[in-house]
Amino acid sequence: MLMFGFLWNILSRVAVEPLPKKKTMLITPEQLKKIATTLKDGRCHELTEIINEQCVKYGIVEPEVFKMFIANIIQESGEFSAKQENMNYRAETIVKVWPSRFKTIADATPYARNPQLLANKVYGGRMGNTDPNDGWQYRGGGFIGITGKELYQQYAKYIGKDVSMTADLVHSSDSYAFDCSCWFFAVYKKIIPIAKAGNFKAVVKAINGGYIGLETREHYYNLCKSVIV
């Protein structure tokens, strides 16, 4: 009897303990490497852990939606090479990017190769930026660049963190750089229904406001469709 009771206790615990949840595998490191070919193998493994976890968290899981999202993320971030906006420009480039703010090369020269000064010039006083250094602190960040203190505040509220700390995390951490991109896509811009409709160009416009880099985005999308099956 004693032995029976002992065995019953063990079997009862086994029966009620839940099995560990199997992780959803939306993309493998090997697949990511075939799409973003500049990535090292180790970084592919790190990023796929983040991608699989956070895309599930935000509901970016339907195959076509996921492929459209990943294609745009890879283009926007230069194959995950940039977590913050590059503001280190020559004067000629500054004039091309912000022609309404810099009419001549001479106007742009004081800001050339001075990222912080340039960010505060072009972003200061708008998008919720009010303090002198806000343009720099809240420059584009994440694998899809969220820009301006107002947008950072919305994301910070969503994740329950201080806005300044949030900006620092988005600029430095792969996890937060990807998480804020998922938030931008699924929560802030609500692009999932657009992606479900199957119009890739409409997804690009919803993310970008236009069609900048469309050819490259389509290249990555075609790779996603051929690699992720």
Q: Which residues contact 194 (CB under 8 A, 6 or more apart)?
A: 202, 203, 206
Q: What's residue 23's pLDDT?
A: 76
Q: Which residues contact 155 (CB under 8 A, 6 or more apart)?
A: 146, 166, 170, 180, 183, 184, 188
Could you list the pLDDT tens digit for every one of the 229 residues in the chain?
444 454 445 445 544 455 446 678 999 999 999 999 999 999 999 999 999 999 999 999 999 999 999 999 999 999 999 999 999 999 999 999 999 999 999 999 999 999 999 999 999 999 999 999 999 999 999 999 899 999 999 999 999 999 999 999 999 999 999 999 999 999 999 999 999 999 999 999 999 999 999 999 999 999 999 999 8
What pTM was estimated for this model as a whole?
A: 0.87
Instruction: Please check whether residue 95 is in contact with residue 104, taking contact to mean a CB–CB distance below 8 angstroms.
Output: yes
CA distance 5 to 16: 17
Six-digit token string for 217: 């985005």
**Radius of gyration of the chain, Cα coordinates, nearest whole angstrom:** 22
User: Could you give the angle at the alpha carbon of 125 between the alpha carbons of 119 and 128, nearest 5°?
Assistant: 95
- For 60, 72, 134, 228, the CA distances from 183, given in Å and listed in that order, are 10, 14, 22, 23
CA distance 79 to 64: 19
CA distance 148 to 130: 10
Q: Which residues contact 5 (CB under 8 A, 6 or more apart)?
A: none
CA distance 150 to 22: 38
User: Counting runs of H as helices and runs of E as strands, what totals does the chain give?
Assistant: 14, 0
CA distance 229 to 139: 36
CA distance 154 to 146: 10
Three-state DSSP class for 128?
A: coil
Six-digit token string for 82: 């940039």
Six-digit token string for 112: 């050339």
Q: What's residue 145's pLDDT?
A: 87
Place of tokens 């490259």: 216
